[in-house]
Structure 1
Amino acid sequence: MELVVVTGLSGAGRRSVLSSLEDAGCTALDNVPARLLEPLLELESKLNPTRVRLAVGMDNRHPEFAEEFAPLLQRLSAGGVPVQVVFVEADDAVLLRRFSESRRPHYLAQDGDVAAAIQEERALLAPVKHAASAVINTSHLTLSQLRRTISELLPDLPVQGTTLRLVSFGFKHGLPADADMVLDARFLPNPFYVQELRSLTGKDLPVREYLLKSDLFGTFVAMAENWIRWTWPYIESEGRAYLTVAIGCTGGQHRSVALVESLAQNLREAMPRLVVQHRELS
């Protein structure tokens, strides 16, 4: 089992790195004391012998960390445990701003002098940084850039990608709270007013055949599909987990359902991580 140790300066983004590793499929544990790491690995190897990689967050809040870290790495290496150490840091001005914005105290700033605490922590962690496999400066990285940096350091990480959620709904029941984009289909011909179609849904072929008689329906599908395909590379580059496109009609039974089904049919081959939800039908 490969071990990835994520450590670094307070406020530099260690938790964000751990979260990115967890999103990529790693088991991630934070705030692990140096003295507990070896017993943890022994227990983990027994409980989960097939686990490929474990990521642990370690920091200097444990007084013995900086002093015990180098001997710990030596013991792990001697025991045949492959270890990568990712050290996360940021510029002083950035760290000062982050502590000011978060209103969280620096654990070394007993007198409130955060700038002095940052310098003290840098000195304490200098040997840890020297032993690191990789150093990431997060001063000017967005979350998506941070994830790309991690994927470059660990190229065999599984890429989860962005999930496209297509949701149909009825406006009379309210907007979906998690929608990133809402499209209104209420101007399309309404099968509700056709007696033999009223009890059916947009999943049923007679409803879809009725709607396809209108050029508006095909134009709606084409324009929505073009927009999703055009924006998709940019959405994925942001590292987003989900993009939710909600399409609504009056009741969420006919038009919106048929539109979502048509879009899903057109997009599924190009976007295998696609989820369809018909809110009012469920």
Structure 2
Amino acid sequence: MKLLILTGLSGSGKSIALDTLEDCGFYCIDNLPIKLLDDFVSNVMLQDQAIYSKTAIGIDARNQSDSLYAFVDKLVFIRSQGIQCDVIFMQAEDSVLLKRYSETRRRHPLTNLHQSLKEAIKIEKDILKPVAKSADLVVDTSRTHYHQLRQLIRDYVQEGEALKISIQTQSFGFKHGIPLDADFIFDARCLPNPYWNPELRAYTGKDQVVIDFLESEAVVTEFFQDISTFLERWIPRFEQENRSYLTVAVGCTGGQHRSVFLVDSLARYFQSKAFNVIVRHRELQ
């Protein structure tokens, strides 16, 4: 049996993620009080395993803080019942959350007459710290649109995924900010930049002319080999700690050429070793 707990900051896209999970065949419950988790697992999931074999539960800051501090104990109990339980924590930058609420005109669950939206976001982060520390996967949606988020969720829960840890490889541009959900970040700005070749500037790391250029540079090959060797050495350590997901980000200046090429190369490399690999190019829209 599989239980997916979806939590995180209000406005980060939890509703979209939960709707996507429902489309993927999960029985979904939004905002279940943490105090009821034990009873739900014992008296509902385990009593009717055919219906609840794949269940997703949304949990947010509307839970009382003392319940959130008991979250780790709840996870221990759930996993002791033989249920595979993963926690996804969703977040976004404060400026993005403020913009989303101003655009949708929805009310943040922690705002009131004496508490502004900005203050509510800060309080929510503090309240959810115990839950965030237990997350198997952190997803930052600051620069992720609706369709990208749905695809990410579908990729994470796809049927028949490899038993090994799932690896998300992500390219990005440093000038647009580093991804907050990455476990490892590698800086490719030291490598030859196709952007400075007028004939290559309009292309990306997915185009053959750019691929040929970068593959011809020995330093690029050396850089790729160092990263792949490093990851091969340390991924088993993360698997030993029962991690389900690992996010590896490679950045260059604009996120168009070098990082895209390297991320695609890493994806092919680890797919050949039977890992479940998810590829995301943040700056390629």
Alignment TM class, shorter chain as reference: 0.5 to 0.7
Q: Identify which of 144, 150, 153 aligns with 1:147.
A: 150
Q: Identify which of 80, 83, 105 aligns with 1:81.
A: 83
Q: Does 1:126 align with 2:129?
A: yes
Residues of 2 paired with 1:126 and 1:19: CA distance? 25
Residues of 2 paired with 1:157 and 1:146: CA distance? 20
Residues of 2 paired with 1:45 and 1:157: CA distance? 23
Partner of 2:108: 106
Residues of 2 paired with 1:157 and 1:105: CA distance? 39
The Cα offsets for residues 223-245 of structure 1, whole Å up to 9 and x where unpaired, read as xxxxxxxxxxxxxxxxxxxxxxx
Partner of 1:14: 14
Residues of 2 paired with 1:93 and 1:65: CA distance? 28
Residues of 1 paired with 2:160 and 2:46: CA distance? 20
Partner of 1:47: 48
The Cα offsets for residues 52-90 of structure 1, whole Å up to 9 and x where unpaired, read as 310111111021442221111121122322100011111
Q: Which amino acid aligns with 2:11?
A: G
Partner of 2:29: 29
The Cα offsets for residues 160-194 of structure 1, whole Å up to 9 and x where unpaired, read as xxxxxxxxxxxxxxxxxxxxxxxxxxxxxxxxxxx
Tell me how far 1:33 sits from its aligned partner: 0.6
- Tell me if structure 2 keeps the 8 A contact 1:59–1:65: no
Residues of 2 paired with 1:45 and 1:9: CA distance? 29
RMSD (Å) for aligned C-alpha atoms:
1.9
- Tell me if structure 2 keeps the 8 A contact 1:27–1:53: yes
Tell me how far 1:51 sits from its aligned partner: 4.1
Tell me how far 1:136 sits from its aligned partner: 1.1
Poorly superposed stretches of 4+, deviation over 4 Å? none
DSSP-derived class of the 1:83 partner: strand
The Cα offsets for residues 119-151 of structure 1, whole Å up to 9 and x where unpaired, read as 111122122112101111112212221122113
DSSP-derived class of the 2:20 partner: helix
Q: TM-score, normalised by structure 2?
A: 0.52
Q: CA separation of 1:50/1:106 partners in 2, compared to 1, >3 Å: closer, same or farther? A: closer
Q: Which moved more, 1:6-15 or 1:105-114?
A: 105-114
Partner of 1:156: 159
What residue ranges of structure 2 are gaps of 5+ in the alignment?
A: 162-285
Tell me how far 1:157 sits from its aligned partner: 7.2
- Tell me if structure 1 keeps the 8 A contact 2:90–2:139: yes
Q: Which amino acid aligns with 1:44?
A: M
Partner of 2:120: 117
Q: CA separation of 1:7/1:152 partners in 2, compared to 1, >3 Å: closer, same or farther? A: same
Partner of 2:181: none
Identical counterparts, % of pairs: 34
What residue ranges of structure 1 are gaps of 5+ in the alignment?
A: 159-282
Residues of 1 paired with 2:51 and 2:118: CA distance? 45
Residues of 2 paired with 1:121 and 1:86: CA distance? 16
Q: CA separation of 1:48/1:78 partners in 2, compared to 1, >3 Å: closer, same or farther? A: closer
Matched length: 158
Q: Which amino acid aligns with 1:101?
A: E
- Tell me if structure 1 keeps the 8 A contact 2:26–2:54: yes
Q: Which amino acid aligns with 2:111?
A: A
DSSP-derived class of the 2:12 partner: coil
Residues of 1 paired with 2:120 and 2:3: CA distance? 29
Partner of 1:265: none
DSSP-derived class of the 2:47 partner: helix
- Please show how residues 210-249 of structure 1 align to structure 2 within 5 Å: none
- Tell me if structure 2 keeps the 8 A contact 1:134–1:153: no
Residues of 1 paired with 2:109 and 2:149: CA distance? 25
